[in-house]
Amino acid sequence: MFFDALRNTVSPLKVLVLTCLVPCALTWGTQAQAKEPAKKASSQKVAVVAKAKPAKSVAKTTKVTASARGVSRSRKAATLVEVPAKASFGQMAGLHSASDPLDLRSSVALVVDQDTQEVLFRKNDQAVLPIASLTKLMTGLVMAEAKLPLHEVITISQEDVDTEKGSSSRLAVGTQLSRGDLLHLALMSSENRAAHALGRTFPGGLPQFVSRMNERAQTLGMRDTRYVEPTGLSSRNQSSANDLALLVGAAYKEPLLRELSTSPGREVDIGRKTLQYNNTNRLVKNPDWDIGLQKTGYISEAGQCLVMQTKVAGRKLIMVFLDSAGKLSRIADAERVRRWLESAPSSRASASHRNHQG
């Protein structure tokens, strides 16, 4: 009807109307086609940008054809390309190909008797890898030994905002908490801004704090360890399982670190509201475990990491798990080791698994 009416109008008006309608119809057609549901690819997700056929009529939807069967016809779907997860340093080094008697998901593992220093289990324990937030255990050790006033109030600043990974934090810039609360959140909940603020406000500033971290590592005999910042967000913070076992042993001697790292939760008041923080290690609430000190960690380059001091089968043990694949796999690996030790503790006196990869 509308186009019939156009035939009866004068030629200049007809030209003007068609000039406006043609681009609009093309736009409407493209938008309508883009709303069609995308079909699933038969084998893998592939983004194909299809070419549109010439429009037969300005009043019809523009047709789009895909050059591969099963590929979405939606232009929006062209941006939905499946990106594989970033491989950890351990995966790139091939450490996950190493087998072990317990079939652990961690590419690196070490279990040491804390009293005798006897190695009960080892796997790639000399490999040097990023350690993520296990870094905060050294941050805590330096703070505990410095004996700075825990009641002193520290303000979170823009300098504490993560520019390495872009991670979020519930501690907004301007938040004021005591040094003790910041240490608590850093160890228990792996709060990055809290850890950074501790280093930034250390006497001499952040450079002095990082220098102290590296000096302390050397005095402990941690020859494979290097720190560049106090949070663990940088993949340049690296260590080995053997070195981390030394760190756990030293940190365990500090009652404050034992208390804060194994705390199940903590409420902190920030202005007009209260924030609830919980422990990142679910094993601290598990009655089957007796954990004296712990720290978890994760960045993509490091994988899932966990260190603990615990008692199993009547023995004080230090456990280290690095570069574990899967969010809960580090916990599952700890459970496997505990069941293995409890099954026949007397037979574990000389049991170990050695793998020199890495």
Active site residues: 133, 136, 190
**H-helix or E-strand containing 266?**
strand 265-270
DSSP annotation string for 116-162: T--EEEEESTT--EE-GGGHHHHHHHHHHHHT--TT-EEE--GGGS-
Task: Name the H helices within the chain.
Answer: 2-7, 11-34, 89-92, 135-146, 179-188, 192-200, 205-219, 241-252, 255-261, 329-343
**Packed helices 135-146 and 192-200: angle between N→C axes, nearest 10 degrees:** 40
Measured distance CA(217)–CA(303) in Å, rounded: 22
DSSP annotation string for 302-336: TEEEEEEEEEETTEEEEEEEEEESSTTHHHHHHHH
Measured distance CA(51)–CA(63) in Å, rounded: 9
